[in-house]
């Protein structure tokens, strides 16, 4: 069973088949859960854990749960 542990805004750890630490650019626990689901699908298709971690770290969806910063 895969579980998300040590969840923070921009990182989380997973147990199970995807065990490891992950950086993520999308905020929200649901995005972390979606990343695990996508990671499991990629694992099933033959991707390495290293490639899955890189893919999750690079994934962005412009305009969706995006963090914006402004002066003041």
Residue 18 lies in a domain: yes
Model confidence band, residue 70 (pLDDT cutoffs 50, 70, 90)? confident
Residue 21 lies in a domain: yes
pLDDT at 46 over 90: yes
The percentage of residues in the chain with a pLDDT greater than 90, rounded to a whole number, is: 68
Q: Pull the structure tokens for residue 13.
A: 């750890």
Note down the domain range covering 9.
4-58
Residue 28 lies in a domain: yes
5 forms beta bridges with: 13
pLDDT at 41 over 90: yes
Residue 70 lies in a domain: no
Residue 9 lies in a domain: yes
Determine phi and psi for 27, rounding to 5 degrees: -85, 160
Report pLDDT digits (tens) over 3-34: 898 899 899 999 999 999 999 999 889 999 99
Specify the pLDDT at position 31. 93
Q: Pseudo-torsion of CA 12, 18, 24, 29, nearest 10°?
A: -60
- Residue bearing the bigger pLDDT, 55 or 68: 55
Q: How many domains does the chain have?
A: 1
């Amino acid at each position: 069973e895969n579980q998300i542990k040590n969840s923070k805004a921009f990182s989380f750890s997973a147990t199970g088949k995807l065990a490891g630490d992950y950086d993520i650019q999308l905020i929200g626990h649901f995005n972390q859960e979606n990343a695990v689901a996508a990671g499991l699908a990629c694992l099933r298709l033959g991707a390495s854990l290293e490639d899955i971690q890189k893919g999750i770290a690079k994934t962005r969806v412009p305009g969706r749960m995006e963090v914006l910063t402004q002066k003041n």
